[in-house]
Amino acid sequence: MTMLHQPLPKLLFALLAGTCGFLMGTSAGDLAPPGFRPHPAGLHALAGGRVVVRPGQILEAGTVLIRDGLIEAVGTNVDIPAGARVWDMTSNTVYAGFIESYLVLDSTNPPVSTGDSMPIGRGSLTAGGWRFFGAPGDRSDPGRAGPGSALGKINPEARVADNYSPKEKNLSALREQGFTTAVVAPCRGILRGTSALIALTEENPNQAILKPGVFQHIAFEPQDDGSFPSSLMGVIAAVRQTFLDADHYALDRADFEKHSAARRRPEYDPGLTALAAATGKRMPFVVEPGSALMNDRAVRLARELDFNLILISCGQEWRRPDLARVSGAAFIVPVNFPSLPKLPDEADWDQISLDQLRTWDWAPENPALLRELKLEVALTTYGLGEKKEFRKNLRLALDRGLSEEDALAGLTIVPARLCGVEKQLGSIEAGKIANLVIVQGRSYFDPESKVRAVWIDGKIHACPPEPSKPASATKSTASAAPTNATVSLAATNGASNAGLPMKKDKKGDDLREAQRIRVAHSPQEGRGAITNPPALLIRHATIWTGGPAGVLTNAELFVAGGKILAAGSPATPPTNTLILDATGWHITAGIIDCHSHSAILGNVNEMSLPSTAMVRIRDVVNSETPNLHQQLAGGVTAANLLHGSANPIDGQNCVIKLRDGNSPEDLVFSNAPAGIKFALGENPKQSNWGDHVTSRFPQTRMGVQTFIANRFTAARHYLQDWEAYRSTGGLIPRRDLELEAIGEIIQGRRLIHSHSYRQDEILMLLRLMEGFGVRVGTLQHGLEAYKIADEISAHGAGVSTFSDWWAYKFEVYDAIPYNGSLAAQRGVTVSFNSDSSDLARRLYLEAAKAVKYGGTPEAKALNFVTLNPAKQLHIDAFVGSLEPGKDADFAVWSKSPLDSGTVCLQTWIDGRQYFDRALEAGRTARLQAERKDLIAKARKIARLAGGSDDAGNDGGKAFFRSSLEHEFDGRERHCLDQEDQ
Amino acid sequence: MKIELLKSRVWMAALWSGILLLLGGGRADASTLLFTNALVHTVANGILTNGAVLVESNVITLVFRGASAGTPPPAIPPGTVWIDVQGRHLYPGLISADSALGLTEIDAVRATQDSTEVGEFTPEVESWIAVNPDSELLPVARANGIGYFEPSPEGDVVAGQSALLALAGWTWEQMIVKKPAALHIFWPDQSLNITPKDRLANPAKWKAFDEQDQDRRNKIRSLEDFFDDARAYIRTEDFGALRAGRASEKIPAWEAMRPYLKGELPVVVHANELRQIQAAALWAATNHLRVVIAGGRDAWRAASLLASHKIPVLYEHIFTLPPGDTDAYDVQFRAPEVLHRAGVCVGFATGRGGFGATMSRNLPYLAAQAVAFGLPEEEAIKGVTLYPARMLGVQSRVGSIEAGKEATLFICDGNILDIRAKVTRFWIAGEEVSLASRHTRLYERYQARPPRAGRGF
């Protein structure tokens, strides 16, 4: 070894450069000052080895000639010049140096975690200064002291190259895996800044940095420090706004250049400057979305904001290969596969969900799956606790279908191309940088073949010899976190564990064989439409039309092309019509839940700011939640997904149809007009957030009005600015997504769904909105609507209420179950909603409570959960009743839907069947059998591996990291009123 | 509707409506009531069409069928108030077991919470003395047929004792039917906290699985020790009292354990997870305790074990979401039927906490959901009347319409399991009670609000 292990002080380098000319690349630079070890000659011949020039192109007994850090020649007949130092590569294999595509240093952050369920009532939730937020807070965002975004999590100006300093401990572990260069990525915040491509040497950073600006980095990482954004949907809103700001900032500065004497100077914002330099596809953006569904959001965001996208794989693209396929994006793929936990008791397996087992079993197959989908794959060690796990896990991926060529490409030519350095790196060709990997034996992909050395910039970095066994065992034990020791198998398995799949013994082969076969099924199986007949005729049914025709007995319903063609009148069916004899059954329009939080990824509240009008539920629709199926089984076909009620002005809602199995975007009820959630009373004034939460405006009902009036006035100004721009030109106004949404309310293009309880606050909102020329869409809950039904009716707002909830908080002490009936009798359009993933399953029975309390006639009571919510959401032209021309969304019941003994038998949406009670037993049995098979596999592998396959010594941490899509399985979700205490 | 054979205590009789018969017996006082022409859900003995119920001195003295010729009519005391039920349903008052009624008013307002105490072993805590007889929640529950409730204390492990109270009375003392009725135990959680350390709200509290395993074992051992210590105390006490002829210093916590250790009163074990339920069942059998499982989410998975030990279940999870991702969507809707078929006695309760208290009136609809998914209707009605009475050891006094029981019954214009049906009149222990509540008062008040000409939008 001739290299220097300590980077020389910069001053010395400068001195050397001054006295000796160029330090590198000239012979003069090779003369080190006295006292330093002389530089070796820069001419090397690596001869006689197996040379993998590029994936698929192999020279047996080839020679690689290196001069001055570059490859001069490669081939089987290369003349070795005199003066070259010859390295015998016999029985070794030479690869192009590997490129680590995503290296995060100085951070112990796990990969972007998908969960953000922040407990209510923590900390002050005020962020100051963010421009789309109007009210001042009591403290500024803790994230930043200097200039830049008002949000500490928005740091596009950060540049890894500015602060990079090589540390041996980071680099040697990577070199031992064959890596010679790495994209070092910034790791703080959401918009994180620019990465740099560096050579993995401990030399002067000026030399180590190959390319100072490679990618801009984004992570969809909500952090619960109380400042905006604290939710996943808030993250997306913040990204969107910042991109718009960057565009505008560039225009603003240009305008100032022209008119500096005539206008105020723009603010200086280094973040927007940096971002503007990358947008417009000038630099690729690497996005770490953290989950399979958010991949799709990243893809859509890239399209919307016009940037080139590279995705960090979450390892779970198998959940929705359809979304990965259409993304067309390149993926940087970690191989941090979850390992089995060691459970203290056999009975603890009961706690392990099918989804956890599927996640474990699918993980090693995910890289192969991405290649099968024809997507570009670069590999990374990202997410591995120990870099030395890389090759073992890579082997698992190869055993599960990833080809060696693809794996090699993922380490060489693919990342070279993504980084835009394909002319310098990625293969062994003349003119490229002499970065090489020397592997003993014939293949890097045999984990037993040791990486002997890497060459970086024409210099050899030998890897240390294999440590002796006892040393290894000690190290392994020490490296396991002490608290982890009992869980981690690493401690008990010691050194032998590290080489698990490499074992040549029978047990090792059996283990590898067991790992090779996937037992898990696709979560897409058994979902989606069960039947999709071209036409459907239901006969002999009792049909609750919901319209003027009322309830028809022994009637027929004819459906074709997803629409109801006739309800109640005989039709002449075409020959391919599916005929359903519904004797004894009742048919109703599909249930519509006007207040749901069931299919939302991450937190349902962006509870940092008092106005979060820029936040969109549509960005975080969860198509994978079991709630969809459970609610289909209760006849629900559409739901109004609402932001929570933490703020006077909350986020934008999203109306979906429960087309389970489809992608988030395909759940969206495209004909539903836009809407937004508001909230009045105890929640936005933070009454029940904890006694110490007292500093955000508003803290009273007075303040709620003041705040909403303030934002509407600001929105009016905003609209006027745009109006002025359209008529007189000048600098285009900055797009402000908060005020834009509020402006749409004023323009009558966005419906308000306002959480409200007391009559005083309801009346306040009606009058306040009337002052802005706005009609409120619905009063959500509106539990005191009965007290001011005439006022509500005259205003024209709908009331979407609970049938009989009361007394769970002080402001609902006057809630009465007669509310719905009484308000309806006075002319208000009333619906009953769930606000609960459980109650949504039985809204049909909630409707019966309008009959019991206040005597609403049965047909009208059913409309409380069908036609009336449709009217309130302005989708009644499409759904809500069984009338010709409407969507064929309906439910089939064993008895009257208002009879407590009724059971939902079938649920149809758009003329397709999504639920059939007759198939449920089989469906459950299949899932249970799959789980049983997976547990059998897990037990077998644990046995063969001596307890578990936990070589990553993470104690099952990754195993138990629930995916975003299933974070809230089996748990209730509410708007704030009923959070678990 | 099926009418079962009437048993000995119910007399067959013919009645001519409007005619009083005086065949011996004393004078009827003001509280002597005769319900006639009723569809009587006796619960204990099936359903009587054209049935009649005689109530004397707050107690049911006679249940018989009218309009059946050939049987001599029973003695009806003079002065009896006749109530023509007009063919509608007559049910015994429903029992809301394991409830926070009376102990909580407004869930979010801490000052109104009296249901949860601090400490792991507080058997001497008595729930009934904290019941607010003027709680607005009580008349609301009563208006839908709830006649009795069991305010139960919540705590860490051995939380305290409950009583059974009637939903009528000026003071908690007057409301009491039985005190104490049961000891409430919250079985230590047996599931592992699998949340990764970096995901915990407080990562410092993270514990390795083996440590958690040790903790959960220790908690159960600690519970067992507590019972062993209590048993030892009682043996010493009894023996010592005999020998020395004097009572030694009483220790309230141990004294409170006495009736439960002797199997005189039931121990309600709150347990939802399979392992908790299994462990509690075996523990009960080993220690000869009378145990009721409350909560019982996974009880259906231990149905045969529970049946073999004759342990009843107070099921509170019909309307919670299925816990596992391989569970059928209706797993909890069907659970009562699965338990019933295995031979387990199943009662229903709206669940703990303030929300359960405000929802007490929906108790019959929990049972109704089980019927929709397979439970026989008679079992569902028993599950909200006679079975909770049995679990609390008051079946000789309440839970059915039988001679000798408290005259707590209500008239309903339909099947009480049908949401659309309404309770029209209600008697608790022979006294008619009002069906008015905060809800009806507000309804009537605002129904009468004069129409306000619209200040149009």
Whole-number Å distance between alpha carbons of A285 and B448: 64
pLDDT of res. A913: 98
In this prediction the ipTM stands at: 0.92
CB contact under 8 A, B199 and A115: yes
Of B195, B325, B361, Cβ closest to residue A354 = B325
Contacts of B321 in chain A (CB under 8 A): 627, 630, 837-838, 970-972
Whole-number Å distance between alpha carbons of A180 and A874: 60
Of the residues B354, B372, B398, the one at which a domain ends: B398
Contacts of B361 in chain A (CB under 8 A): 804
CB contact under 8 A, B446 and A822: yes
Q: Does A793 touch chain B (CB under 8 A)?
A: yes
Of B418, B447, B454, Cβ closest to residue A793 = B454
CB contact under 8 A, B192 and A899: no
Q: Does A96 touch chain B (CB under 8 A)?
A: no
Angle subtended at Cα A944 by Cα A941 and Cα A945, rounded to the nearest 5 degrees: 80
pLDDT of res. A111: 56
Give the minimum alpha-carbon distance from A606 to chain B in angstroms, rounded to a whole number.
Answer: 18
pLDDT of res. A572: 76
Q: In what order do the strands lie in the sheet with A309-312?
A: A191-194, A216-219, A285-288, A309-312, A330-334, A377-380
pLDDT of res. A386: 87
CB contact under 8 A, B452 and A786: no
Q: Are residues B108 and B160 in the same domain?
A: yes
Report the chain A residue with the minimal C-alpha distance to residue B415.
A900
Whether residue B163 lies inside any domain: the answer is: yes
Q: Are residues B271 and B373 in the same domain?
A: yes
Contacts of B105 in chain A (CB under 8 A): 807
Q: Quick one: how far is CA A72 from the chain centroid?
A: 45
Whether residue B447 lies inside any domain: the answer is: no
Q: Are residues B61 and B128 in the same domain?
A: no
Of A483, A793, A852, Cβ closest to residue B419 = A852
User: Looking at the predicted structure, is the pLDDT value of residue B203 above 90?
Assistant: no
Q: Choosing among B443, B444, B445, which should be mutated to test the A contact, i.e. which has the most A CBs within 10 A?
A: B443
Whole-angstrom CA distances from B407 to A180, A715, B88, B147 are: 88, 66, 18, 10
pLDDT of res. A911: 98
Q: Are residues B160 and B255 in the same domain?
A: yes
Of the residues B87, B109, B133, the one at which a domain ends: B87
Q: Are residues B200 and B106 in the same domain?
A: yes
Of A791, A845, A921, Cβ closest to residue B419 = A845
Q: Report residue A162 as tokens.
A: 């500015």
- Report, as an integer, the average pLDDT of B360-382: 98
Contacts of A627 in chain B (CB under 8 A): 321
Of A795, A807, A816, Cβ closest to residue B442 = A816
Whether residue B264 lies inside any domain: the answer is: yes
Q: Which residues of chain A have a pLDDT value below 50?
A: 1-27, 108, 113-142, 469-503, 951-953, 978-981
Report the chain B residue with the minimal C-alpha distance to residue A931.
B326
Report the chain B residue with the minimal C-alpha distance to residue A119.
B201
Please report which confidence band the pLDDT of residue B455 belongs to, taking 50, 70 and 90 as the band edges.
low
State the amino acid at position B312 in one-letter form.
Answer: P
Report the chain A residue with the minimal C-alpha distance to residue B213.
A344
User: Looking at the predicted structure, is the pLDDT value of residue B242 above 60?
Assistant: no
Whether residue B6 lies inside any domain: the answer is: no
pLDDT of res. A1: 39
Q: Are residues B60 and B108 in the same domain?
A: no
User: Looking at the predicted structure, is the pLDDT value of residue B19 above 50?
Assistant: no
pLDDT of res. B166: 98
CB contact under 8 A, B368 and A927: no
Q: Are residues B141 and B58 in the same domain?
A: no
Q: Are residues B243 and B300 in the same domain?
A: yes
pLDDT of res. B67: 52
Contacts of A353 in chain B (CB under 8 A): 324-326
Are the beta carbons of A114 and A967 closer than 8 angstroms? Answer: yes
CB contact under 8 A, B319 and A957: no
- Which residues contact residue A923 at a Cβ distance below 8 angstroms, ignoring those fewer than 6 apart? A526
Q: Are residues B170 and B72 in the same domain?
A: no
Report the chain B residue with the minimal C-alpha distance to residue A598.
B321
pLDDT of res. B244: 56
CB contact under 8 A, A791 and B452: yes
Residue B328's domain is classified under what CATH number? 3.20.20.140
Whole-number Å distance between alpha carbons of A198 and A162: 12
Q: Which residues of A865-903 are buried (b: 16+ CB within 10 A; e: fewer)?
A: bbbbbbbbbbbbebbbbbbeebbbbbbbbbebbbbbbbb
Give the minimum alpha-carbon distance from B7 to chain A in angstroms, rounded to a whole number.
Answer: 30
Report the chain A residue with the minimal C-alpha distance to residue B196.
A957
Contacts of B372 in chain A (CB under 8 A): 900-903
Q: Are residues B231 and B161 in the same domain?
A: yes
Are the beta carbons of A815 and A783 closer than 8 angstroms? Answer: yes
- Report, as an integer, the average pLDDT of B59-87: 82
Of the residues B370, B398, B426, the one at which a domain ends: B398
Q: Does A848 touch chain B (CB under 8 A)?
A: yes
Q: Does A629 touch chain B (CB under 8 A)?
A: yes
Contacts of A347 in chain B (CB under 8 A): 190, 274-275
Q: Are residues B177 and B69 in the same domain?
A: no
Q: Which of residues 541-560 of A touch B (CB under 8 A)?
A: none
pLDDT of res. A182: 97
pLDDT of res. A463: 86
Whole-number Å distance between alpha carbons of B120 and A247: 61
Of A484, A838, A849, Cβ closest to residue B320 = A838
DSSP H/E element including A920: helix A920-944
pLDDT digits (tens, 9 = 90+) for B259-303: 999 999 999 999 999 999 999 999 999 999 999 999 999 999 999
Of A794, A903, A924, Cβ closest to residue B455 = A794
Whole-number Å distance between alpha carbons of A311 and A108: 21
Whole-number Å distance between alpha carbons of A128 and A149: 11
pLDDT digits (tens, 9 = 90+) for A481-508: 333 333 333 333 333 333 344 445 788 8
Q: Which of residues 287-346 of A touch B (CB under 8 A)?
A: 341-345
Of B195, B210, B417, Cβ closest to residue A900 = B417
pLDDT of res. A506: 80
CB contact under 8 A, B321 and A816: no
CB contact under 8 A, B209 and A900: no
Q: Choosing among B115, B136, B140, B199, which should be mutated to test the A contact, i.e. which has the most A CBs within 10 A?
A: B199
- Report, as an integer, the average pLDDT of B393-419: 98
CB contact under 8 A, A807 and B320: no
Contacts of B202 in chain A (CB under 8 A): none
Report the chain A residue with the minimal C-alpha distance to residue B368.
A900
**Burial class (CB within 10 angstroms; exposed 0-12, middle 13-18, buried 19+) of A686:** buried
| HEC string for A497-540 | HHCHHHCCCHHHHHHHHHHHCCCCCCCCCCCCCCECCCEEEEEE
Whether residue B39 lies inside any domain: the answer is: yes
**Burial class (CB within 10 angstroms; exposed 0-12, middle 13-18, buried 19+) of A814:** buried
CB contact under 8 A, A348 and B192: yes
Contacts of A794 in chain B (CB under 8 A): 452, 454-457
Of A789, A809, A852, Cβ closest to residue B107 = A809
Going A204 to A207 to A209 to A212, the CA torsion angle's sign is positive
User: Looking at the predicted structure, is the pLDDT value of residue B31 above 80?
Assistant: no
B378: left (phi over 0), alpha (psi -120 to 50) or beta: alpha
DSSP letters along B310-340, please? Answer: T--EEE--TTSPPSSTTS-TTHHHHHHHHHH
Contacts of A836 in chain B (CB under 8 A): none
CB contact under 8 A, A796 and B327: no
Q: Report residue A169 as tokens.
A: 């401990």
Q: Are residues B114 and B43 in the same domain?
A: no
Residues spanned by the domain of B136: 94-398
Give the minimum alpha-carbon distance from A261 to chain B in angstroms, rounded to a whole number.
Answer: 48
CB contact under 8 A, A957 and B208: no
Are the beta carbons of A250 and A277 closer than 8 angstroms? Answer: no
Per the structure, the count of domains in chain B is: 2
Q: Choosing among A808, A832, A862, A914, which should be mutated to test the B contact, i.e. which has the most B CBs within 10 A?
A: A808
Q: Does A818 touch chain B (CB under 8 A)?
A: yes
Whole-angstrom CA distances from B289 to A335, B231, B392 are: 54, 12, 13
Q: Does A926 touch chain B (CB under 8 A)?
A: no
